Amino acid sequence: MANPKDYQFDLPSAGRPAIFTLEEKFFPGIQDSWPKVTKKRIVHPIEGIRAVVIHATAGSSSAGAVSVMHAGKASFHWLVPDEDEKQHGKLVWACAPESLAAFHVRNDRSHPKVNGGATRVNHWSLGIEIVNSQKSSDLYSDWQVSMTARIVRFCWAKYPNLKHVVSHARLDPARRTDPGTQFPWEEFKKQVLDGAAEPVPPLVASVARARSFTPEDVSGCCIG
């Protein structure tokens, strides 16, 4: 059986998605918690992102997971609903702004194969929570796995220096086991690395094809 403490793969330099979208909505009222459970990053909020950390809530509902943020105990950037919730199959909850550090890994935790063993993981990572009790009877749904992979591909397209995809257990093996042995890590990895390219919308593609400009195109542009 796979050990969550070994869950890690690195994104290759080739194959980065050109464009990717995400069906996300802010969890209602979550903005009120941001001052308590987020912090300005000590790295550049785009260029400094090096890892995505996969967590499981050890609970059974999105509301229960979010209550931890409202209590000021921890936070995460995205929350993937459980199959018993009506949002399952339709959207992922956005919980903390990507530009800010969320409190999802202890400051002194690290792993030598993740960003050179650097600590203060929250400042250079993004956190994804999946609603799952981590009990042997609570299997992850196919949609939860594919949505988590989709979030990682969204991040891969957006953050040029993103490299590591790791479990919480990898970074904090003495205290954490999430996302647990029930999470199909190899299938998840395959969906991240071999996922189909998302079609570029025609309006976006029309701009991308414009490789050269005449002097008339830019005359007066951005000049005060």
173-187: pLDDT as tens digits: 999 999 999 999 999
In the DSSP assignment, the letter for residue 26 is: E
Nearest of 101, 58, 106, 107 to residue 76 by alpha carbon:
101
Kindly report the pTM of this predicted structure: 0.92
Complete domains list, the chain, with CATH: 4-198 (3.40.80.10)
Contact by Cβ (8 Å): 128, 53:
yes
How far is Cα 184 from Cα 141, in angstroms, rounded to an integer? 10
Place of tokens 């919480």: 168
Nearest of 73, 93, 99 to residue 81 by alpha carbon:
93
pLDDT value at residue 222: 53
User: Which helix H or strand E contains 168, and what residues bound it?
Assistant: helix 168-171
Beta strands, E only, the chain: 8-10, 24-26, 38-40, 51-56, 78-80, 92-94, 100-102, 125-130, 164-167
pLDDT value at residue 213: 52
Is pLDDT at 218 greater than 60 in this prediction? no
pLDDT value at residue 21: 87
